Structure 1
Amino acid sequence: MRHLILVDAAIGLVENPAPVKSGGVVAGLFGIRPLRTALIATVGTQPLFSEFWLRKFVARKEVVTPSRTAIYREPFVLDGFTASLGDWAVQFAGESGKSLSERPEGFRKLPIPLTLVWGQEDTITPLPQAQVLQRLAAGSRLLVLPGVGHIPQIEDPALFNARMTEILQHP
C-alpha cells in the first residue's frame, strides 16, 4: 500500500478516552442477539424507514430519491442481513479503545501518506474529527468538500470524482 485515503471515516478515534463504564440495561438487552435483531428489523432494516435513515447521513436531502433508497434496501432481503447488521453495531459501539483505528499512536506512526476527504456538513463524523486525524498523521492532507455530508459520493458525484482523480493522479 502506497497511500491511504479515508472518506468521512467513522473510525471511533478518541484522543483522551474516558474510563469504560458498564452499558446498563439497554446495553444488556442489546447484547441479546434475538432482541437486538428484532430491534434492528423494526427500525433499522424496516423498508418504511430507509429514506428517513438515509436522509440522516446526507446534507443534500434531494439526493435521497426513491431509486437510490431502493438500492440501499436491496441487502435487507438477504438471509441473515438484519442479524449481521446488529452484530456489527454491537461490535462498533463496544470497541472502546480496542481497535487500532481508535488509538492516536497508530496515526502518528502511519508509514504511508494519508489523504482525508471530508464532507464539510458531515454530522455523522464531523469535520473536527478529520482535523484531529490530520494533526496526528504528519504530512497528511485534508480535502474538504463543501456542501456535502457523510456520503459525498452520492451528494456531489462530480466533485467527489474530480477530487479522487486528483488524489490518485498526484498522491
Structure 2
Amino acid sequence: MTTHQHHGYEYVDEGRGPVLLLLHGLFGALSNWQDVVDEFRADYRVVIPLLPIYDMPLAQAGVPGLVKYVEGFVAAIGLPDSLTVLGNSLGGHVALVYALHNPDRVARLVLTGSSGLFEDSMGGSFPKRGNYQFVQERVRFTFYDPTIATKELVDEVFSVTNSNAKCLRIIAIARSAQRHNLSRELRRVAVPVLLVWGLNDTITPPPVAHEFARLLPQATLRFLDHCGHAPMMERPAAFNRCLRQFLSQPAPVVAIAA
C-alpha cells in the first residue's frame, strides 16, 4: 500500500467507487487492513487514515479527540457522503461515535472486535515499558493463532511501549475508551451494521458482540471460528466474504433518530 500526505494527514487511498473508510485499533496500523484493500480496491475506494494515537496532544488523547481527527480528515480530503465506515477494536468505537455525530455522512457501519461496551485492553493491564516478554504475550493474546503475532509485529508494539510519551497517550486513550460506554446511545444508530466477531476473541469476547447486536437496531452478527480480536488479519478470506455480502445489499441513507 502506498501512503499519501495531505494537510498533515497520512493515509492510504486506493481504488475508485463507493468509499470504504477503515479505522485501525489502539496498537493497529494501516497494514492491518491489507487484505481488505487487496480484495476491494477493484470495486471501491478504500481509504485508511493513520490515527495519531502515539503523537496527538495528550489533552486530546481519547475517543472524542480521535473522532474530531477523523472528521477533520474526511473534510480535508473531501470524502463524499454515504460512507461505509469499518472499525476494528478502538477503531470500531471511533466509527460508532463518528456515525452518531455525523448521521448524514454514514450509510453503513462494519464493526469487528469493537470497543464501546467492554474491552480487556492488553489482557487486563497496561503496557509495561521495557518488558519484551510481556509485550509478546499481550500481542499473542490478540489472536487465536499466536503465530500471527510475528516478531516484526511484536517488535513494532515493543518500540511503541518503550516510549514514555507514547505510553502516556496509549493509557489515556484506553481509559477514555473504557469510560466512554455507548450502551445508552447505540439505539440511535439507525444505519445497517455488520458485526464480524472472532469466536475466540478474549479482548472483546462473544457476549460483547451479542450485546452490540441486541442494542443496535439494524445489526447483523457473524462469528468466525478459530479467530481472535482482529478477524480481518486472522481470517481475511472469511472476513472479506462477510463484508462483500453485506455491501451487496442496498443501503438506504437513513438519518440517525433523535
Name the TM-score, length of structure 1 as normaliser: 0.68
1:110 to partner: Cα distance? 1.4
1:134 to partner: Cα distance? 0.9
Secondary structure of residue in 1 paired with 2:200: coil
| Alignment of structure 1 residues 13-92 onto 2, 5 Å | 43=128, 46-76=131-161, 80-92=165-177
Q: Which runs of 5+ in 1 are unaligned?
A: 14-38
- Aligned identity (percent) is 23
In structure 2, the partner of 1:21 is none
Q: Which runs of 5+ in 2 are unaligned?
A: 1-105, 119-124, 252-258
Distance 1:5 1:56 in 2: 23
Q: Judging changes above 3 Å, is the alpha-carbon distance between structure 1 residues 120 and 139 closer, same or farther for their aligned structure 2 residues? A: same
Q: 1:141 aligns with which of 220, 224, 237?
A: 220
In structure 1, the partner of 2:244 is 165
- Greater Cα radius of gyration, structure 1 or 2: 1
In structure 2, the partner of 1:36 is none
1:49 to partner: Cα distance? 2.5
More strand, by proportion: 2
Q: Judging changes above 3 Å, is the alpha-carbon distance between structure 1 residues 74 and 165 closer, same or farther for their aligned structure 2 residues? A: farther
Matched, 1:107 2:196: no
Whether the 8 Å CA contact 2:187–2:215 is kept in 1: the answer is: yes
1:47 to partner: Cα distance? 3.3
Matched, 1:117 2:164: no
Query: Which deviates more from structure 2 when the two are superposed, residues 108-117 or residues 156-165?
Result: 156-165
Q: Higher relative CO (CA 8 A, sep ≥ 6), structure 1 or 2?
A: 1
* Paired AA for residue 108 in structure 2: H
1:140 to partner: Cα distance? 1.2
* Paired AA for residue 137 in structure 2: F
Whether the 8 Å CA contact 1:45–1:82 is kept in 2: the answer is: no
* Paired AA for residue 167 in structure 2: T
